[in-house]
Amino acid sequence: MRMLTQQLLTTVLLIWFVSQITYAQNDTIPTDVIKPIEQNQDLIEDYIQGLESDSDFDFNTVFEGLEYFLKRPLNLNKVTREELLDLMLLDEIQITNLINYRKKAGDLISLHELQAIPGFDLDKIKQILPYVTTGGDIDDFNVSIPTMLYKGKNELFLRYRTTLEKEKGEIPLEEGQEAQRFLGDPHKLYFRYRHTYDNKLSYGITAEKDEGEEFFKGSNKQGFDFYSFHIGLKNYNKLLKDIVIGDFAASFGQGLIMFSGFGGRKGNEVINIKRSERTLRPYTSVNEASFLRGAGATLALSDNLDVSLFASYRAVDANIVDIDTLEQEEDIENLFSSFQLDGFHRTPNEIADEASLKQTTLGAQIKYYRDNWHIALNGIYDQFDLPIFRNPAVYNQFFFIGDKINNVSLDYSYIYRNLHFFGETARSSNFGSIASVNGLLIGLDRKVDMAILYRHLPADYQAMRPRVFAETSQGANEYGLYLGLDVQPNKHWRFVSYFDMFRHPWLRYNADAPSQGYDVRSRLTYKIKRKLTMYLQAKYETKTVNARDPEGVADADLPKLDYLVPEKLLNVRFHVDNKLSKALSLRTRFDAGFYQNGDLERQTGFGIYQDVVFKPISLPFSLSARYAIFDTDGYAVRFYSYENDLINSFSVPAYYNQGMRYYLNFRYTGIRNLSLEFRIARLRFLDQDTIGGGLNEIDAPHRTEIKAQVKYTFSNY
């Protein structure tokens, strides 16, 4: 391992030194287009690291709307706040500054004028440049719905993925063995067709089969395991703002009762903490748990009043419990104990949970708004055809139990000069508990921005789909205060930092008493003419959790009740991103950190990778590759690293234990309207003989993943 480390460090230092010698300066605003997901890899890394489960959010299509703005850029002289939020590249302070500048100075004459607006440095201008303009009007046309259904842009995706090594679930049982095994083959298949007409109409179908699921047989005689269809119409006329039919997503306020969009989390974009999303939007991803199925509409009843309504009815996966086994006397046949969110239907047990629970959801919003403020009343009602039962424990006594729940909330925002106030207050029906989150964004100076957010989430507050800015994703049992600071003294330097302290007034799964903690993160970035980016980042977190059992101590010698101890985690990162030319980019990263639970021995580790991205301008192909090594004392010391992947896909694995990971991506675009992609990625551990657990266990220290994708695009405008 030491030899590998020395070789990689030598290579990295040599490449970095050569890159400085070959660096060429350029002081103009570039016009090259960066892929949306690659642009926002910091946001994705931060988001994945903060999730409590892999199924919480699907990024695969979150930035695809930018492809539309490439062909029909937003007119910054006429664009609304809502349309700027659709762009997903500007925070609330930047949007406010742009609108205020437009009011005072009039229409922008040139995109170069953006440099006069606070918050718009050359790097931010470069990021949004392909998607905006100062002339034309994308809404100066009126096309009938039949025309939009027929004409427009069409995209077809076909994707394949498999693992070369056999997992335990694929290996047949020996004679006399009794266990579960995968009923299908080890291939993952993805199909997607989508038709769009500008930014107004979208319809399409998405289908997916996971590894181990049957295909055109058994439980999936219909072919794919998951199908999703949608049709959506946006900004059709003054009355009809949005209509969605089929699968869709809904978002209210700051996420206290429901939020399905890409909400900000604690990360590098320390000011981007406000939840902002259209109330209704079509669903085009493959997460099988995070969507609604039915219909909804947003109507503009006047120039300042919108009303949104939606209804959903769908079958969801759940673990059904036989009432007889619980020795209950209620007049009920069955209960369900938990939702199954992973979307896997590979074994008889998983198939038994498939679509076993019916859920009805109704929602409504009344929103009144002016240029600088809005107020909205939101309501949502959920009902299940079976009540939920949970194994009783002290920590979960405030969790939802029953077959119905409703929530109401009031959300607001108000802009006064350089101050942007926002928040939401909600009530849950089961306990009548009230939760609230309130924030303030402040433009202290054209070079300094600040964010403040306080959250009050009682332990007995309940909601089925909360996604509020907080330390945990539960949406309850937390009080906290967040402070963020963004300082950009000149075009070369940027310093961002946040401090967040939180308290959990009731027990949690891993804390057998009320607990508290705080975390702080800072990043110092240095850029040279947009060709070279370097940053040094440190994140430290401490919170009280249950003490872990020390090794070598008999159970009889351990206390009967867990006690709380401080859990400490430190991560330091140094990152270099160097664009040697228009065709060649190099990215180098070094991570180091430690983890400690109470008085137990401290766990440490490091990780380092080197990326090479080659995109020749005159040739119809591109390549990207990575070689990474890591050495940590366990999963507690892990480093999340964004990886280049196929179009509309992403990978952010955690590097931990001792091993290496490398991948190669190849993309060919030499055939008109056709894109062909191939990816191979391999993970190899040096300190263990197997990978994974349960039915996903591989009896080898390595895992090799193969992906291939075809994208075909055609238009009939």
Q: What is the pLDDT of residues 329-360, one digit of tens each?
A: 555 556 878 888 889 999 999 999 999 999 99
Q: If DSSP codes are grouped into helix, strand and coil, which group holds residue 99?
A: helix
Which of 176-180, 383-387, 456-460, 494-498 is least confident?
A: 176-180
Distance CA 24, CA 31 (A): 17
Residues 6+ apart with CB under 8 A from 649: 60, 159, 707, 709
Of the two residues 129 and 453, the one the predictor is more confident about is 453
Q: What is the pLDDT of residues 411-444, one digit of tens each?
A: 999 998 889 999 999 999 988 999 999 999 998 9
Amino acid at 620: P
Q: What is the pLDDT of residues 149-183, one digit of tens each?
A: 999 999 999 999 999 999 999 999 888 778 899 99
Distance CA 710, CA 562 (A): 53
Most confident range (mean pLDDT) of 273-277, 552-556, 608-612 is 608-612
Which alpha helices (H) appear in 570-677, and where do they start and end? Answer: none
Compute the C-alpha angle 262/263/266, nearest 5°: 125
Distance CA 504, CA 511 (A): 9
pLDDT of residue 47: 59
* Residue 461 burial by Cβ neighbours in a 10 Å radius (0-12, 13-18, 19+): buried
Distance CA 391, CA 104 (A): 61
pLDDT of residue 373: 92
Residue with tokens 């891993």: 510
pLDDT at 27 over 80: no
Residues 100-127: b if buried by 16+ CB within 10 A, e if exposed: bbbeeeeebeebeebeebbbbbbebbbb
pLDDT at 501 over 90: yes
pLDDT of residue 672: 92
Which of 231-245, 289-303, 465-479, 542-556 is least confident?
A: 542-556
Tell me what the mean pLDDT of segment 241-257 comes to. Answer: 95
Q: What band does 29 get if pLDDT is binned at 50, 70 and 90?
A: very low
Strands (E), 135-175: 153-163
Q: What band does 633 get if pLDDT is binned at 50, 70 and 90?
A: very high
Q: What is the pLDDT of residues 681-704, one digit of tens each?
A: 999 999 999 999 999 999 999 999
Q: What band does 117 get if pLDDT is binned at 50, 70 and 90?
A: confident
pTM of the model: 0.87
Nearest Cα neighbor of 219 from 332, 351, 343 is 351
pLDDT at 26 over 50: no
pLDDT at 516 over 50: yes
pLDDT of residue 497: 97
Which of 2-11, 263-272, 355-364 is least confident?
A: 2-11
Q: What residues does 542 pair with on adjacent strands?
A: 518, 568
Judge whether 542 and 566 are in contact, CB under 8 Å: yes
Give me the half-sphere count of Cα atoms (radius 13 Å) on the Cβ side of residue 224.
Answer: 17
Strands (E), 235-324: 240-250, 280-282, 292-302, 305-316, 318-322
Compute the C-alpha angle 576/579/585, nearest 5°: 85
Q: What's the whole-number average pLDDT of the chain?
A: 86
Tell me what the mean pLDDT of segment 35-61 comes to. Answer: 55
pLDDT at 476 over 80: yes
Q: What band does 38 get if pLDDT is binned at 50, 70 and 90?
A: low
pLDDT at 23 over 60: no
Q: What is the pLDDT of residues 658-679, one digit of tens each?
A: 999 999 999 999 999 999 999 9
Q: Using only C-alpha atoms, what is the Rg of the chain?
A: 26
Q: CB neighbours (10 Å) of residue 11?
A: 13
Residues 6+ apart with CB under 8 A from 618: none
Strands (E), 286-397: 292-302, 305-316, 318-322, 334-339, 357-369, 373-388
pLDDT of residue 19: 43
Greatest distance between any 2 Cα atoms in the chain = 81
Residues 6+ apart with CB under 8 A from 529: 25, 26, 27
pLDDT of residue 623: 95
pLDDT of residue 106: 85
pLDDT at 140 over 70: no
pLDDT of residue 333: 58
Distance CA 591, CA 573 (A): 5
Q: What band does 21 get if pLDDT is binned at 50, 70 and 90?
A: very low
